[in-house]
């Protein structure tokens, strides 16, 4: 073997053990060591794992206050539920004027301006006060996932350019180093490079979708449903079930080409899902793949409608219009041949297994079955869904694989409604925000307000909405009251430098149902990013900010100057 080729073999990590008298054993060992992938080391003021709305909000809050940030994201899209999961914003009715941080409303306005700058809108749509690109009934701002990615990327771009933000896409947390009550470092693995990166910072934020950093760092957490004896909540079950988590959904998009045939190949699990009747403690309305479901509030069977032209279907909700992200009527004639709608419906909620705590193999298996359910729903709509003319199926429905930015057409990540939750300094319970439970506490029948928290760091609103669960619960859906976000719910009982910024705050199984939506997640993330800045500046651990009256008042003043609302308007 020539000497040059031998050296090249060593540099490539070869297992050749031939001896060349001109090369020492030490030289061979050195070259073999150099050929192995080395762990890269990165340092910042704060490491944020998870690029969803909470993670992005935390990053932006920290960055505009001159902290350096490392933000990791498991997929190649930031935005979480609004982008990688394909879910248009679920918001409260006052969102256009108040009830969320200024930064969140700026984000919403930037979405609209993106369409105004780049899309062929009609003059009426362009000049309307509140543009809703899809005119979806679920939200005042239904838009394409990729637009959220573009806007968030634009918001982060100046900080990346200045070297204040390191954005690690397609990097997943795999391990952590912990010393007592503090996280010292986090290791993330590049999905493409297969190389680990060690991230070090004074503060770490868990903005992952499932609270992945909690078990990794030994942070105390809970999952599933608590017993009534634990929380004394009106709607809590008698027996706790840590495995009882809400359904997840694998979302997809479709449009409609009248007169064409876009019927997909029959899915492998179609026969199973076509005949599947959910087994629940309170009976489901019948087969999952049908135009009926359980009324979330009464659990009585409720009829739905479906017509891919978007026509008015009277008092029955036309599912086509529900999460529509492009309404062709908003755009100049000929721009779009059809509306585009997102399918995140009761019919493709998957509740036959948990993602929380699942092994990688189990996680992939459940997600694949979730995709089969969604694919089966698409095929059912194309071939068997009842039509008003008495026929069956809409073969012109087209699976829009391009909308989600994936090869298979499904969202990059399942829409997750429930996560691990920290054991917090303060836990938000139904008695604090549930309308009926609040009435029991106050003794008033009307005029109740949610509990006022002296340590409020934000506000939000959504009804308490739990989808069918792995524990065979049907919908749990009831009224809540416009609420505050208490700082105590963002503080783990023991860990000093790890903070939650997603669905993993100190709620219960029930109250998670109203603290899990888009603007609240942003509000949580923003409060956490600002808390890191404030605690760093004051040289105290976050828990002391809550415990010291002067520090708390100072922090709340800082939040308000940053555009965060702490109380609801009268």
Would you state the pLDDT for residue 32? Answer: 56
C-alpha to C-alpha distance for 506 and 485, rounded to whole angstroms: 10
Residue with the larger pLDDT of the pair 513 and 3: 513
253 confidence band (pLDDT: 50, 70, 90): very high
Structural domain contains residue 23: no
**133 neighbors 144 (Cβ within 8 angstroms):** yes
> Mean pLDDT, to the nearest integer, of 362-371?
98
570 confidence band (pLDDT: 50, 70, 90): confident
446 confidence band (pLDDT: 50, 70, 90): confident
In the chain, DSSP finds a helix count (H) and a strand count (E) of 17, 23
Structural domain contains residue 280: yes
Selection from 568, 323, 368, 339 nearest residue 460 by Cα = 568
Domain check: are 522 and 429 in the same one? yes
How do residues 302-315 score in pLDDT, each as one tens digit? 999 999 999 999 99
Domain check: are 130 and 195 in the same one? yes
> Mean pLDDT, to the nearest integer, of 165-177?
98
Would you state the pLDDT for residue 12? Answer: 40
Structural domain contains residue 265: yes
Least reliable range by pLDDT among 24-33, 167-176, 453-462, 470-479 = 24-33
pLDDT at 514 over 80: yes
Least reliable range by pLDDT among 334-338, 442-446, 543-547 = 442-446
Structural domain contains residue 186: yes
DSSP string across 430-479: HHHHBHHHHHHHH--SSS--PPP-TTEEEEE---EEE--BTT----EEE-
How do residues 37-70 score in pLDDT, each as one tens digit? 678 999 999 999 999 999 999 999 999 999 999 9
Percent of the chain residues past pLDDT 70, beyond the cut: 94
CATH code, domain carrying 457: 3.50.50.60
Structural domain contains residue 113: yes
* Parent domain of 312: 248-416
Residue with the larger pLDDT of the pair 37 and 129: 129
Domain check: are 368 and 317 in the same one? yes
How do residues 177-231 score in pLDDT, each as one tens digit? 999 999 999 999 999 999 999 999 999 999 999 999 999 999 999 999 999 999 9
- Among 369, 392, 416, the domain-final residue is 416
pLDDT at 155 over 60: yes
pLDDT at 27 over 70: no
> Mean pLDDT, to the nearest integer, of 17-24?
48
Would you state the pLDDT for residue 447? Answer: 87
pLDDT at 19 over 50: no
The whole-chain average pLDDT of the chain stands at 94
Would you state the pLDDT for residue 355? Answer: 98
Structural domain contains residue 7: no
Selection from 73, 261, 276, 268 nearest residue 156 by Cα = 73
Domain count, the chain: 2
Q: What is the DSSP letter of 18?
A: -
2 confidence band (pLDDT: 50, 70, 90): very low
Domain check: are 301 and 377 in the same one? yes
Domain check: are 253 and 380 in the same one? yes
> Mean pLDDT, to the nearest integer, of 478-502?
98
> Mean pLDDT, to the nearest integer, of 457-473?
98
Domain check: are 455 and 502 in the same one? yes
Would you state the pLDDT for residue 445? Answer: 86
The residues, ordered by sequence, that sit 6+ positions from 467 with a Cβ below 8 Å of its Cβ are 246, 247, 346, 349, 351, 417, 475
Domain check: are 133 and 52 in the same one? yes
Domain check: are 348 and 486 in the same one? no
How do residues 265-285 score in pLDDT, each as one tens digit? 999 999 999 999 999 999 999
Structural domain contains residue 1: no
pLDDT at 5 over 60: no
**459 neighbors 482 (Cβ within 8 angstroms):** yes
Least reliable range by pLDDT among 6-10, 78-82, 366-370 = 6-10
Domain check: are 239 and 305 in the same one? no
Domain check: are 382 and 462 in the same one? no
DSSP string across 382-410: HHTSB-TTS-B--TTEEE-TTTTTSSSSS
- Please give the model's pTM, rounded to 2 decimal places: 0.93
Sign of the alpha-carbon dihedral angle for 146, 313, 376, 356 = positive
pLDDT at 78 over 90: yes
Q: Residues 13, 18, 20, CA angle at the centre, nearest 5°?
A: 105
Would you state the pLDDT for residue 182? Answer: 98
- Among 365, 396, 416, the domain-final residue is 416
Would you state the pLDDT for residue 172? Answer: 98
Structural domain contains residue 20: no
C-alpha to C-alpha distance for 308 and 323, rounded to whole angstroms: 12
Domain check: are 127 and 154 in the same one? yes
Would you state the pLDDT for residue 484? Answer: 98
Domain check: are 169 and 153 in the same one? yes
Would you state the pLDDT for residue 21? Answer: 46
**445 neighbors 421 (Cβ within 8 angstroms):** no
- Among 397, 416, 435, the domain-final residue is 416
């Amino acid at each position: 073997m020539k000497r040059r080729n031998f050296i090249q073999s060593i540099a490539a990590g070869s297992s050749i053990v031939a001896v060349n008298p001109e090369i020492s054993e030490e030289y061979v060992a050195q070259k073999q060591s150099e050929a192995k992938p080395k762990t890269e080391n990165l340092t910042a003021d704060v490491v944020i794992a998870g690029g969803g709305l909470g993670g992005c909000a935390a990053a932006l809050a920290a960055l505009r206050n001159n902290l350096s940030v490392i933000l990791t994201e498991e997929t190649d899209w930031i935005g979480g539920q609004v982008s990688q999961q394909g879910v248009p914003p679920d918001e409260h009715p006052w969102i256009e004027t108040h009830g969320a941080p200024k930064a969140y409303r700026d984000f919403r306005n930037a979405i609209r301006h993106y369409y105004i700058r780049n899309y062929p809108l009609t003059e009426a749509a362009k000049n309307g006060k509140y543009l809703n690109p899809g005119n979806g009934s679920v939200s005042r701002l239904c838009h394409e996932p990729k637009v959220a990615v573009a806007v968030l990327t634009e918001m982060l771009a100046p900080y990346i350019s200045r070297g204040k933000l390191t954005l690690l896409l397609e990097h997943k947390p795999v391990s952590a180093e912990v010393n007592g009550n503090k996280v010292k470092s986090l290791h993330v693995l590049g999905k493409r490079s297969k190389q680990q990166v060690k991230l070090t910072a004074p503060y770490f934020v868990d903005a992952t979708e499932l609270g992945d950093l909690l078990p990794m760092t030994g942070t105390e957490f809970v999952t599933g449903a608590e017993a009534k004896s634990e929380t004394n909540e009106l709607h809590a079950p008698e027996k706790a079930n840590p495995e009882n988590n809400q359904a997840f959904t694998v979302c997809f998009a479709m449009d409609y080409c009248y007169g064409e045939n876009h019927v997909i190949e029959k899915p492998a699990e179609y026969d199973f899902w076509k005949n599947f009747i959910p087994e629940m403690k309170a009976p489901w309305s019948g087969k999952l793949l049908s135009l009926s479901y359980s009324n979330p509030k009464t659990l009585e069977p409720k009829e739905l409608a479906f017509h891919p032209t978007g026509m008015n279907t009277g008092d029955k909700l036309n599912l086509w219009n529900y999460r529509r992200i492009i309404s062709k009527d908003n755009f100049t004639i000929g721009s779009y041949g059809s509306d585009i709608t997102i399918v995140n419906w009761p019919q493709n909620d998957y509740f036959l297994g948990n993602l929380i705590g699942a092994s990688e193999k189990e996680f992939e298996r459940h997600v694949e079955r979730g995709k089969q359910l969604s694919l089966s729903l698409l095929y059912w709509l194309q071939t068997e869904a009842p039509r008003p003319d008495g026929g069956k199926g809409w073969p012109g429905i087209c699976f829009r694989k391009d909308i989600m930015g994936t090869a298979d057409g499904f969202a990059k990540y399942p829409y997750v409604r429930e996560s691990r939750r920290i054991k917090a300094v303060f836990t938000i319970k139904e008695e604090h925000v549930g309308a009926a439970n609040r009435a029991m506490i106050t003794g008033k029948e009307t005029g109740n307000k949610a509990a006022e928290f002296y340590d409020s760091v934000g506000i939000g609103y959504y009804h308490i909405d739990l989808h069918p669960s792995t524990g065979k619960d049907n919908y749990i859906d009831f009224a809540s009251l416009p609420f505050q976000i208490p700082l105590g719910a963002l503080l783990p009982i023991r860990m000093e430098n790890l903070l939650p910024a997603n669905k993993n705050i100190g709620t219960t199984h029930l109250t998670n149902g109203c603290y899990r939506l888009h603007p609240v997640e942003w509000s949580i993330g923003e409060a956490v990013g600002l808390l890191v800045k404030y605690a760093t500046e004051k040289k105290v651990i976050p828990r002391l900010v809550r415990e010291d009256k002067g520090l708390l008042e100072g922090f709340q003043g800082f939040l308000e100057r940053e555009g965060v609302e702490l109380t609801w308007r009268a």
